[in-house]
A and B are shown apart, each in its own frame.
Chain A
Amino acid sequence: MHDVSATQVTDEHKAPTGFIRKYVFSLDHKVIGKQYFGLALVAVFVGMVLSWLLRIHLAYPTWPIPLLGKFSAAGAPGGVMTPEYYLSLLTMHGTLMVFFVLTNAPFAAFGNYFLPIQIGAEDMAFPRFNMMSFWTTFAAFVVMMASFFVADGPPISGWTAYAPLSAVGGDAGPGLAMGQNLWAISIALFCVASLLGALNFIATTLDLRTKGMSLARMPYSTWAWFVTSVIALLAFAVLLPACILLILDRVGGTSFFIPAGLILSDKLQPHSGGSPLLWQHLFWFFGHPEVYIAILPSIGIIATILPVFVRKPLLGPRALIGSMVAIAFLSYMVWGHHMFVSGMNPFSANLFSVPTLIITIPATILTLLLTASIYGGRMRFDTPALFCLGFISVFISGGISGFYLAQPSLDTYLHATYFVVAHFHFVMAVASLFGVFAGTYFWFPKMFGRMMNETLGKVHFWLTFLGVYCVFMPMHYLGLVGNVRRYSAFVDDYLAPLIPVHKFITIAALLTGAAQLIFFWNLIWSRFRGPVASVNPWQATSLEWSTTSPPPFDNFGAHHPVVQNGPNEYGVEAPDGTDYVMQMAPREGV
């Protein structure tokens, strides 16, 4: 033993006093978690407003939106957006939502706040990396938003930024000069931030578990964050090189993704020999695991929250964790299913199709376990519980359409239609956000020391639940008809008859969006006026409910908790007369 080792933990952990250290460049994982949460809220608000604008334009292409005209006179002269501005906003909607909301909210925000507490640690393994991780993400966000304010606006190449459209520069269209540069730099920064974050999550989970917190005793949310961070580590480690090569193609004159002999704006492009498919391979090698980065944390959150409200243990915890690991493993073998009709060798389609379909097995197991866990319980229908039920429902709906798109023979018809839009919005976006909503209503008391308003919460749930079905279910029908996605208008005779469906979706989207304002209001109101929360308002077992709301700077007040039980002890007859045993509760006879 080194004579200095006994003091190492404590001297790293004095609570900071200055405002900057406390709230801005904080090393405290709880502050960083809240910062991520706040950033995700800003991003989701912008992304939602963008989706409103897109939907209004699709259904009512001639309606002027005066504020938009003021915001960008070139992009929306007189408030009616141009086709290219539609694509700019579409790109930003996708990018903000996928990276800054679906990756940040369920994974980075809740993970940062609760992973260390749930394993009984005082902080992350590397608090400085953690701080850098958030501020790099923040920088990425600023760079991304800056593209709204450069000469011809954000890029029009979609969130997938397919080369060569994204690689050749301004000759390919508006937004593809400076806007696309900012996009690529922002995503590269985001990759660096996510790698730092993932590294931190993994090291923390491996090294900082408190006494008695074996892997088997970790709550499912911690498991999900852990598995997700492994996925993220590998996925972002591939997207980063892809972004670097893209940036070099754009500013360094290289030809990684740009083939010879391209003529854009009547100019022969000075590149030769690159491979556009290489970008797609690298991008989707990241892109498909990214789907699981978005959804797995929410599955973990739901699996943690659901038993609290059903008041009985989750069914098959080992199968649940095994399924998550299986999904993570399989997620690296399926990227080609985004590329069935991309021009890659058609023989490989079947090779990618089979593992894709196999993923439905662990996904089905997860769904069945969650559903069957409700059976025979006496459920408390608080708002988090409702969002758990909603999550299972939308996860089923979104998962089902995966059967279609995983088959190359059907993808040949459904690819790039609204069927795909419906699929990924349900399974990735809505399901993941339902997990975030459940997590917010559940953990808000712990994070801010006050309860959220239940009535507003329930109104929010019902409007959102009905709303997302009204928005996304009809998109399946549009896809079956062959309505192509990423069109800024439906001008031809074939698609024009579908406009009424689009109008229905637009109205539903506006209303569902408006319902989210209730959520925002509830957050703000409850933050200041909500009833004060007790230590454990939901009678849950995991460690965060053993410390004050909100927890002190070092989480457990200069103490290391000792864990005696698994996280699943609900519906038991505890010695104190309750129906649950906390992870820290002493065991009889121990």
Chain B
Amino acid sequence: MGKAFAVVLTLITLISIALFVMHTWWLPPDISTTGPAVDHQLEETLIGTGVLFLAGQLMLGCFAWMASDKTPAKKNRAFPGGATPLVTAAILLVGIEIFTLTFVGSKVWGAIYLAPADPGALKIDVQAEQFAFYFRYPGPDGKFGAVHPEKIDDGSGNYFGLDPANDVAARDDIVAASLVVPVNHPVALTLHSKDVGHSFYVRELRVQQDFVPGLDIPLNFTATQTGKYEIVCTQLCGLGHYNMKAYLEVMSEADFEQWLKAQAGQ
């Protein structure tokens, strides 16, 4: 029985690892300035933990195989060296791995979440609600109009609760259902929610950030490739959660200006 266990375990281990190594299912290509570091960190972790996984499972299988030998002459043998070397090895090996991962990883994290927004960044105000995202551009005056929750009225398209009648800055604000950004241009989002918790997740940007009702949360990124990508909600927000999405459209600088004009004209 121990031998059977060893064989089955080895098969499971090898197949699992093979599917990781072959990249049969893998992340979509990255399109952000901070993404490559994330991918690199992921690769490092995959190698480190892959070795641990392989070693752990094979050791288990191997010992189970050996322990199934019950020839009468065979005597029990203790693990050579006892527990101390094992404990030391665990502390050292895992400790080094942790140290490395943290050292490198905290820089990767910092680049995405701690770096201040570029002064020339395109500012976009993002509102999440059950079950849609809306994006607001400040318009030619470069200023966002003030938000009045009590004025929010989805029926008339006033998703942000603007008050153009009394608020000059609000009059030229552009509201869109897609996040359209110019390529290679820093973008500074401000996330806020109208109702419950939501999340902003673009796989290709390697970025995820929750919307927290009552808070304005900054999120910065720079897209490096044009194209159309999904923005999906990853924070359980109610019955339509599975279908809450919008698109990130990364355009050339010229196309973006064109788009912005077309929007302003509406």
- Give the interface of A toward B (CB within 8 A): 82-84, 87, 156-158, 160, 162, 164-165, 168, 172-174, 258-264, 266, 268, 273-277, 310-312, 315-316, 319, 341-343, 346-347, 349-350, 353-354, 357-358, 360-361, 364-365, 367-369, 371-379, 381, 386, 389, 392-393, 396-397, 400-401, 403-404, 407-410, 412-413, 415-417, 458, 462, 465-466, 469, 473, 476-478, 480-482, 484-492, 494, 498, 501, 571
In the complex with contacts A361-B95, A396-B56, A412-B207, A491-B243 CB distance below 8 A: yes
Q: Is there an interface contact between B68 and A408, defined as CB atoms closer than 8 Å?
A: no
Binding site for A on B (CB under 8 A): 1-2, 5, 8-9, 12, 16, 19-20, 24-28, 37-38, 41-42, 45, 48-49, 52-53, 56-57, 59-60, 63-64, 66-70, 74, 76-79, 82-84, 86-87, 89-91, 94-95, 97-98, 101-102, 105-106, 108-109, 112-114, 129-130, 149-150, 152-154, 194-197, 199, 201, 203, 206-215, 217, 230, 232-243, 245
Scoring A158, A347, A371, A392 by chain B CB atoms within 10 A of each residue's CB, the highest score goes to A371
Shortest Cβ distance from B19 into A: residue: A477
CA A361 to CA B96, docked complex, whole Å: 11
Inter-chain contact B90/A354, CB cutoff 8 Å: no
What are 17 A-to-B residue pairs whose CB atoms are below 8 Å? A84-B238, A263-B152, A263-B194, A263-B195, A268-B149, A277-B215, A316-B83, A343-B209, A347-B114, A350-B102, A372-B79, A375-B66, A378-B70, A413-B38, A480-B25, A480-B26, A484-B233
How close is A321's CB to chain B, nearest CB, in angstroms? 12
> Between A and B, how many residue pairs show CB distances below 8 Å?
309
Residues of B near A347 (CB, < 8 A) are: 114
Task: Judge whether B197 and A162 touch: CB under 8 Å.
Answer: yes
Inter-chain CA distance A347–B110, complex, in Å, is: 8
Q: How far is the CA of A354 from the CA of B194 in the complex (A)?
A: 34
- Asked whether, in the complex, the Cβ of A174 is within 8 Å of the Cβ of B239, the reply is yes
Q: Is the CB of B230 within 8 A of A492?
A: yes
Q: Are B196 and A168 in contact (CB under 8 A)?
A: yes
Given A158-B236, A276-B212, A277-B212, 9 other A-B contacts at CB below 8 A?
A258-B213, A343-B215, A353-B102, A377-B67, A378-B69, A403-B97, A409-B112, A412-B208, A417-B234
- Selected contact of A361 from candidates B12, B91, B109, B150, CB within 8 Å: B91
Closest to B67 in A: A379
Contact A465 B8 (CB under 8 A): yes
The minimal Cβ–Cβ distance linking B130 to chain A, given in whole angstroms, is 7
In angstroms, Cα B53 to Cα A417, docked, is: 21
Once the chains are docked, how many angstroms separate the CA of A13 from the CA of B108?
A: 63
B112 cross-chain contacts in A, Cβ below 8 A: 409, 412
- Residues of B with C-beta under 8 A to A488: 241-242
Cross-chain contact A316 with B86 (CB below 8 angstroms): yes
Give the shortest distance, in Å, between A272 (CB) and chain B (any CB).
9
B105 surroundings in chain A (CB, below 8 A): 353, 407-410
With the chains together, A521 CA to B79 CA distance in Å?
A: 39
Residues on B with C-beta less than 8 A from A156 are 236, 238-239
Find chain A residues with CB under 8 A from B86 CB: 315-316, 365, 368-369, 372
A486 is contacted by which of B19, B78, B89, B241 (Cβ under 8 Å)? B241
Q: A360-B98, A376-B67 are in contact. Are A275 and B214 (CB under 8 A)?
A: yes
Shortest CB–CB separation between residue A279 and chain B, in angstroms?
10
A11 to B: closest C-beta gap in Å:
46
Contacts of A407 in B (CB 8 A): 41, 45, 101-102, 105, 109
Specify which chain B residues have a CB less than 8 angstroms from the CB of A158 in the assembled complex: 236
Bound Cα distance A407, B74 (Å)? 46
Q: Knowing A346-B113, A396-B56, A478-B25 are in contact, say whether A262-B194 is a contact too (CB < 8 A).
A: yes
Query: Would A316 and B208 count as touching, CB distance under 8 A?
Result: no
Which listed residue (A389, A400, A416) contacts B235, Cβ 8 A? A416
Q: CA A158 – CA B238 in complex, angstroms?
A: 10
Tell me, rounded to whole Å, the shortest Cβ–Cβ distance linking B112 to chain A: 6
Contact B60 A264 (CB under 8 A): no
In the complex, are the beta carbons of A361 and B206 less than 8 A apart?
Answer: no
Q: How far is the CA of A480 from the CA of B20 in the complex (A)?
A: 10
The docked-state distance in angstroms from the alpha carbon of A315 to that of B77 is 12
Assess the A342–B149 pair: CB atoms within 8 A.
Answer: no
Known: A371-B59, A376-B78. A349 touches B1 (CB 8 A): no
Residue of B20, B66, B206, B214 near A274 (CB, 8 A) is: B214
Instruction: Tell me whether B79 and A375 are in contact (CB under 8 A).
Output: yes
Contacts of A408 in B (CB 8 A): 105-106, 109, 113
Asked if B76 and A311 make an inter-chain contact with CB atoms under 8 angstroms apart, the answer reads: yes
**A276-B197, A377-B76 are known contacts. Are A350 and B94 too (CB-CB below 8 A)?**
no
Q: How distant is the Cα of A466 from the Cα of B15 in the complex, in angstroms? A: 12
- List residues of chain B with CB within 8 A of the CB of A478: 25
Could you say which of A364, A369, A409 has the most chain B C-beta atoms within 10 Å of its C-beta? A409
B113:A365 contact, CB within 8 angstroms: no
Q: How far is the CA of A358 from the CA of B2 in the complex (A)?
A: 33
Q: How far is the CB of A93 from chain B (nearest CB, A)?
A: 14
Q: Quick one: closest B residue to A370, CB to CB? A: B60
A219 nearest CB across to chain B (Å): 18
Task: Report yes or no: A491 in contact with B242, Cβ–Cβ below 8 A.
Answer: yes
Taking a contact as CB atoms under 8 Å apart, the answer to whether B238 and A381 are in contact is no
In the bound complex, CA of A274 to CA of B215 (Å): 11
Residues of B within 8 A of A462 (CB): 8
Enumerate the 6 nearest inter-chain pairs by beta-carbon distance, A residue then B residue, closest first: A316-B83, A259-B214, A376-B77, A381-B1, A261-B149, A84-B239
